[in-house]
Amino acid sequence: MNRVCFGCGSILQSDSEMITGYVPKEKIDNANYCKRCFRLTHYGDKTSNDFEKSTKTILDKVNFSNNYKIFIIDFININNNTMNIFKSIKGNKLLLISKIDLIDKSININNVVKRIKEIYRISSDIRYISSVKDYGVNSLLKYLEIKNIKKCYILGPTNSGKSTLINKLMELYNPKLNKLTISNKRNTTLEFIKIKIKDITFIDSPGFLINDYNLDNKYKSIIKPITFNMKENEVIKINDFYIKFSNNTSITIYLFDKLEMGKYYKELEFNYDMEIDDNIDLCINGFGIINIKHGGNIRINNLDKDLISIRRSVFGGYDE
């Protein structure tokens, strides 16, 4: 029978190093992990060409099943694209906001959750968690037990912390089990992997490979809001892109606090522009959120249009 890697779920094989699941011949009889997982865990690099599962493949599989589904997502990746994926998941499900240890205390997460529910018209429950700081992990398990869940898919964009959550549950309730591979690289988990913790079988899954800003990990720190008052035709530079505002407006940027930004009056070639309403969030996949109080025309330079989406702000309006 084929044996699989405990870390990524690939079938272990010694035929080709170019294919996932590779283990050198002399080690395969005793191996629990493939070479790729070994390298990812110990050296943080990837060796083989990954097999990527499309969003459709993952959705087709899970929507065929009646199992409960948890969709885990980082706060800064909540936007129209990712919420459309969440909405296309059928059956009973939970939206779980991960890594809340990275959200600055000045952000009122309960209010934000309420607004997310309203703006994206989400009828399922929304909870939040930090697997690293062990916040909300225990109570999540209790929540599932009360609901009498026996099988549960863990779904979400790549890097959202799916495998980290399951590892934390193992650490708390079944520390002898072999840990899943976690890494800050995209597409770490390659197959569906079943792990039983207490009476619940969790199914880890390959992440949805969403186009994102691809921010260098050295910048990933606490997400802090910073407010700027922008004058008519002033430009803000954030990391390596620019946004110009046609009206006076205050903006609040929710961004990893190691990133640099500054205001200028600058003549630039802008790639595209858009008209926006008052109090909207400009969401940049994998990067951050910019809350703009006064609408009007904004022009953007050096930022891929596919990474941007607009929504009514989750951070409250003028009336609050």
Ligand X SMILES: Nc1nc2c(ncn2[C@@H]2O[C@H](COP(=O)(O)OP(=O)(O)OP(=O)(O)O)[C@@H](O)[C@H]2O)c(=O)[nH]1
CB closer to ligand X, 111 vs 184: 184
Q: What does 81 bind: ligand X, Mg ion, none (CB cut-off 5 to 8 Å by kind)?
A: none
N- to C-terminal Cα separation, the chain: 62
What CA–CA distance (Å, rounded) separates 95 from 83? 10
**Residue 239 binding result from Mg ion, ligand X, none, given CB thresholds of 5 to 8 Å by partner type:** none
Element (DSSP H or E) covering residue 296: strand 296-301
Q: How far is the CB of 134 from ligand X (least distance, A)?
A: 9
Q: Which is nearer to ligand X, 11 or 209 (CB)?
A: 209
Helix (H, G, I), strand (E, B) or coil at 200: strand
Give the start-end residues of each E strand in 102-234.
Answer: 125-128, 151-155, 193-197, 200-204, 223-230
Closest CB to Mg ion among 13 and 188?
A: 188
For position 77 contacting Mg ion by CB under 5 A, the verdict is no
Least distance to ligand X from the beta carbon of 191, Å? 10
For ligand X, the binding residues (CB under 6 A) are 98-99, 101-102, 130-132, 156, 158-164, 182-184, 186-189, 206-207
Crossing angle for the helix pair 162-173 and 137-146, to the nearest 10 degrees: 80
- Residue 161 binding: pick among Mg ion, ligand X, none (C-beta 5-8 Å cut-off by kind): ligand X
- Name the binder of 164 from ligand X, Mg ion, none, CB < 5-8 A by kind: ligand X
How many angstroms separate the most distant Cα atoms in the chain? Answer: 68
- Torsion angle in degrees (nearest 10) through CA of 105, 101, 188, 302: 20
Min. distance of Cβ 10 from Mg ion in angstroms? 12
Quote the least distance from Cβ 43 to Mg ion, whole Å: 18
Nearer to ligand X (CB atom), residue 114 or residue 186:
186
> Burial, 57: exposed, middle or buried (Cβ in 10 Å; 0-12, 13-18, 19+)?
exposed
Q: Tell me which H or E stretch contains 44.
A: none
Contact between 98 and Mg ion by CB under 5 A: the answer reads no
Q: Which residue's Cβ lies closest to ligand X?
A: 207
Nearer to ligand X, 76 or 182 (CB): 182
Binding marks (x or -) toward Mg ion, 152..191, rule CB under 5 A? ----------xx------------------------xx--
List phi, psi (to 5°) of 104.
-60, 145
Residue 246 interacts, among ligand X, Mg ion, none and using kind-specific CB cut-offs from 5 to 8 Å, with none
**Which residue lies nearer to ligand X by CB, 9 or 251?**
9
Q: CA–CA separation, 296 vs 275, rounded Å?
A: 5
Binding partner of 247, given Mg ion, ligand X, none, CB within 5-8 angstroms per partner class: none
Q: Which backbone phi and psi does 238 adopt, to 5 degrees?
A: -125, 115
Residue 132 contact partner, candidates Mg ion, ligand X, none, CB within 5 to 8 A by sort of partner:
ligand X
Between 53 and 162, CB nearer to Mg ion: 162
What's the sign of the alpha-carbon dihedral 317, 299, 121, 154? negative
CB nearer Mg ion, residue 20 or residue 188: 188
**What phi, psi does 146 have (nearest 5°)?**
-60, -35
Using alpha carbons, select from 98, 78, 72, 25 the residue that is nearest to residue 309. Answer: 78
In the complex, what is the shortest distance from the CB of residue 1 to ligand X, in angstroms, rounded to a whole number? 25
Nearest to 278 by CA among 241, 231, 317: 317
Residues of the shown chain interacting with Mg ion in the complex, contacts defined by CB under 5 A: 162-163, 188-189
